[in-house]
C-alpha cells in the first residue's frame, strides 16, 4: 500500500489517516497524560450536563363518559305544512341528539400558546355543530363539501367578508377571549355552527355513546366542565393527572340540560 510522508515524519496509510506508533512517540509523556485528562474531563462534563437537564413535564390522557339525559322534545310547528302532522305508526321517532352539541374541557391548565383549530364543513353541516377554541387561536373553516357557501357571523356580519367560500376553500376566524361566534350560511338556514372561546387547549368531544378522550394533558389537577349548545351546564368534576394515574377515567352525570344561566 502506498504511503504518504508528512513534514513531521510520521507515516499515514492512504486509507487512514492512521497515526503510527512512531508519531505517538513524538509526543512527550507529560503531554499525553494531559491530553488523556482532558478527554476524561470532557466526558464527565457531558455526563453531568445530561443529568442536570430538566426532564419534560409528564403528560397523560383523560378519558371518560358523560351520561346525558334524553334530548329536548321537538319544538312546536312554526307553520303548518300541506298535511297535518301525525304520529309514525311504524316506528318511534328518534330522540333529538344531544352528544353532537356537547364538549368537555379541563379548566385550570397553565398558560400556553393557542393551537390552530380546523373546522370542517362536511356535506350540509359542520363536523362539530359546537366547536371549542382557545382564546387567541385561529379557527380555519374548511369547506369539504361540494357546495359553495356564503358564510356570515351573527355577532359580526363583516367578520368573514362577502366572498363565497367555494369547495376546498378556507376562511379564518381569530378567536377573542370571552367571545361566541355563531356562523351560518346566508343561503341555507340549516347550515349553522357555533365557536366558543375557552381558556384551555384541553378539549374533548363526545361520540354517540357519550365517551370522550383528551390526550397530552400535563400532570396536575383540573376541573372538568361541560358545555351544551349555548351555555355551560351546572356540573363540574375534579380530575387529577399524576405519574401514577396517567389515564384517569371519569364519569360525569348530567341531570339537566338547562345551562347555569337558565337555572
pLDDT single digits (tens) 212-249: 999 999 999 999 999 999 999 999 999 999 988 889 99
E runs forming strands in 14-129? 59-67, 102-107, 117-122, 125-126
- Residues 119-156 have pLDDT tens digits of 999 989 999 999 999 999 999 999 999 999 999 999 99
List phi, psi (to 5°) of 262. -85, -15
Q: Is residue 4 pLDDT above 60, yes or no? A: no
Distance CA(256)–CA(121), nearest Å, equals 30
Distance CA(25)–CA(136), nearest Å, equals 67
Distance CA(175)–CA(197), nearest Å, equals 6
Distance CA(101)–CA(71), nearest Å, equals 11
Q: Is residue 100 pLDDT above 70, yes or no? A: yes
Q: Is residue 44 pLDDT above 80, yes or no? A: no
Q: Is residue 46 pLDDT above 50, yes or no? A: no
Structure-block grid coordinates of residue 11: 507515516
Domains delineated in the chain? 59-70+95-109+200-263 (2.60.40.4130), 113-199 (2.60.40.420)
Q: Is residue 193 pLDDT above 70, yes or no? A: yes
List phi, psi (to 5°) of 216. 60, 45
Question: According to the model, what pLDDT value does residue 57 have?
Answer: 54
Distance CA(238)–CA(247), nearest Å, equals 14
Q: Is residue 113 pLDDT above 70, yes or no? A: yes
Question: According to the model, what pLDDT value does residue 145 have?
Answer: 93
Summarize the confidence of residues 2-20 as an average pLDDT: 41
Q: Is residue 182 pLDDT above 60, yes or no? A: yes
Residue 259 has a CB neighbour count (10 Å cut-off) of 16
Question: According to the model, what pLDDT value does residue 261 have?
Answer: 75
Q: In the predicted model, what is the mean pLDDT of the chain? A: 81
Q: Which residue has the cell 352528544?
A: 99
pLDDT band at 94 (very low <50, low <70, confident <90, very high): confident
Write b or e for each residue in 123-161: b if 16 or more Cβ atoms lie within 10 A of its Cβ, otherwise e.
eebbbbebbbbbeebebebbbebeeebebbbeeeeeebe
Question: According to the model, what pLDDT value does residue 81 have?
Answer: 72
- Residue 29: which H helix or E strand, with range? helix 29-52
Question: According to the model, what pLDDT value does residue 27 have?
Answer: 45
Instruction: Indicate the pTM of the whole model.
Output: 0.73
Question: According to the model, what pLDDT value does residue 259 have?
Answer: 86
Q: Is residue 85 pLDDT above 80, yes or no? A: no
Find the range with the poorest average confidence among 2-11, 27-36, 100-109.
Answer: 2-11
Q: Which residues pair with 133 in a beta bridge?
A: 197
Q: Is residue 200 pLDDT above 70, yes or no? A: yes
Q: Compare 71 and 78 and report the one with higher pLDDT.
A: 71
Amino acid at each position: 500500500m502506498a504511503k504518504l510522508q508528512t513534514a513531521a515524519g510520521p507515516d499515514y496509510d492512504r486509507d487512514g489517516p492512521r497515526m503510527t506508533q512512531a508519531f505517538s512517540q513524538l509526543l512527550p509523556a507529560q503531554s499525553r497524560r494531559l491530553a488523556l485528562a482532558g478527554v476524561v474531563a470532557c466526558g464527565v462534563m457531558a455526563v453531568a450536563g445530561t443529568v442536570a437537564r430538566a426532564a419534560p413535564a409528564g403528560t397523560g390522557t383523560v378519558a371518560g363518559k358523560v351520561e346525558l339525559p334524553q334530548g329536548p322534545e321537538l319544538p312546536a310547528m312554526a307553520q303548518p305544512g300541506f298535511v297535518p302532522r301525525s304520529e309514525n305508526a311504524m316506528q318511534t321517532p328518534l330522540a333529538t341528539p344531544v352528544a353532537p352539541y356537547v364538549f368537555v374541557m379541563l379548566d385550570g391548565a397553565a398558560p400556553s400558546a393557542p393551537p390552530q383549530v380546523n373546522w370542517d364543513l362536511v356535506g350540509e353541516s359542520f363536523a362539530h355543530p359546537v366547536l371549542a377554541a382557545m382564546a387567541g387561536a385561529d379557527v380555519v373553516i374548511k369547506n369539504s363539501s361540494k357546495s359553495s357557501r356564503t358564510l356570515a357571523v351573527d355577532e359580526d356580519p363583516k367578520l368573514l367578508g362577502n366572498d363565497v367560500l367555494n369547495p376546498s376553500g378556507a376562511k379564518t376566524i381569530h378567536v377573542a377571549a370571552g367571545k361566541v361566534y355563531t356562523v351560518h350560511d346566508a343561503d341555507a338556514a340549516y347550515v349553522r355552527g357555533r365557536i366558543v372561546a375557552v381558556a384551555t387547549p384541553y378539549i374533548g368531544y363526545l361520540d354517540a355513546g357519550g365517551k370522550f378522550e383528551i390526550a397530552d394533558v400535563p400532570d396536575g389537577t383540573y376541573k372538568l366542565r361541560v358545555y351544551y349548545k349555548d351555555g355551560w351546564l351546572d356540573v363540574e368534576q375534579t380530575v387529577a393527572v399524576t405519574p401514577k394515574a396517567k389515564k384517569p377515567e371519569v364519569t360525569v352525570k348530567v341531570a339537566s340540560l338547562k345551562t347555569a344561566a337558565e337555572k
